[in-house]
Structure 1
Amino acid sequence: MKKFIEEFKAFALKGNMINLAVGMIIGSAFTSIVNSLVNDIFMPILSIFTGKIDFSNLFIALDGNKYPTLEAAKEVTSTINYGSFITQTINFLLMALVVFLAVKAMGRLERLGRRPEEPKASAQKACPYCCTMIPAEAVRCPNCTSRLDKEVNIEQERKTTDALS
């Protein structure tokens, strides 16, 4: 049992678990903010364009009768609450839009805070003898087998190569 508790402690206190817990807490707080944005700001504006339709009161009573409200219908029969589904779909789409815009804004802020990156050196260079592209770290050309050390004088190497020919 002691080993099990130690393993659980090691698992629960890993950095990834703590990060996940913090993310979940922030996510739930962000969800309530976005829900308020949708329900208190966007839905009233949307109701102006839809003729003040209350989506939460759109339903189909399964007994075929008409009821003035969803609550009245639920007291008597089962209902298909498609208005609630429409509301939740709009909530999801607006939440996805808000999260997208927030992530995009955070990325823009992050790019503003960074220094511009210096261009990286090329991973290849040209062999001064045969002009083929070779890895930048190469000390000998794989094509013409010439030595590419910086200390070696190119002219001296050419003379040596010509004398051997």
Structure 2
Amino acid sequence: MPRLQDTHVYDRHEEEDDLLNRNRRRVVRLWEDFIDFAFQGNVLEIAFGLILATMFTALVTSFVSDIVLPPISVLLPLNKNLEEKFAVLRSGANHPAEGYNTLKQAQADGAVVMAYGFFMNRLLNFMGVGFSLYSIASVYQWMSKDPIIKKTIRCQYCCKFVNINSIRCINCTSWLDGREDHFHHQIHTSATTPGTSTPGAGPSQ
């Protein structure tokens, strides 16, 4: 009997060790899969690109708001910053006689305002970011000879834009090298001239 009991205890410990080993291998496998997913090349490139894009956008926004707009507010007949320019469409309950001084004051009073200065500020920020990105892309293209700025033309059949070097439209699959017009011309000639056959068809009876 003691031997059977010892054997039973040994089997139980062996099963526990096997269970621990399986769980350990499962955890290790999950961790390795996570490492492969999180640190693969594409994910890292996207993460670095997003971080740089966020920092670059904040830098350009600060340049436009803090450097460009204040001189414009001084040169133009503006009595306040461009962001604080607004039109009151409906006054609030506590509308002061001299008018609202700031946009936040008008909004806090419940006034209905048209914040065109805020919109113009965002528009200038957008133009600044777009022009800066275009300048960087142009310099990179000039230095690396890599045509990242691709010129496009409008397809004459579906009127959608395609690469200027394309010989076939990616949208309507029409040929852009002239063979489409040549094919249609042959069909028109075959339809108007008796005794001729359509290209690709058998002889007319």
Q: TM-score, normalization: structure 1?
A: 0.55
Change (3 A) 1:100 1:14: same
User: Offset at 1:18?
Assistant: 0.7
Correspondence for 1:22 among 28, 48, 51: 48
Correspondence for 2:144 among 95, 110, 118: 110
In 2, the alpha carbon distance for the partners of 1:75 and 1:36 equals 26
User: Quick check: 1:58–1:82 contact (8 Å CA) kept in 2?
Assistant: yes
Q: Can you give the 5+ residue segments of structure 1 that lack an aligned partner in the other structure?
A: 112-165
**Does 2:59 align with 1:33?**
yes
Alignment of 1:146-161 (within 5 A): none
User: Offset at 1:40?
Assistant: 2.7
In 2, the alpha carbon distance for the partners of 1:106 and 1:11 equals 30
**Does 2:82 align with 1:55?**
yes
In 1, the alpha carbon distance for the partners of 2:73 and 2:115 equals 18
In 1, the alpha carbon distance for the partners of 2:110 and 2:87 equals 10
In 2, the alpha carbon distance for the partners of 1:99 and 1:45 equals 24
Residue-pair matches, total: 111
Q: Which residue of 2 aligns with 1:144?
A: none
User: Quick check: 2:85–2:116 contact (8 Å CA) kept in 1?
Assistant: yes
In 2, the alpha carbon distance for the partners of 1:76 and 1:99 equals 40
Change (3 A) 1:91 1:19: same
Q: Which residue of 2 aligns with 1:98?
A: 132
Q: Percent identity between the aligned chains?
A: 26
Alignment-mate amino acid for residue 96 of structure 1: G
Change (3 A) 1:100 1:81: same
In 2, the alpha carbon distance for the partners of 1:35 and 1:46 equals 15
Alignment-mate amino acid for residue 74 of structure 1: Q
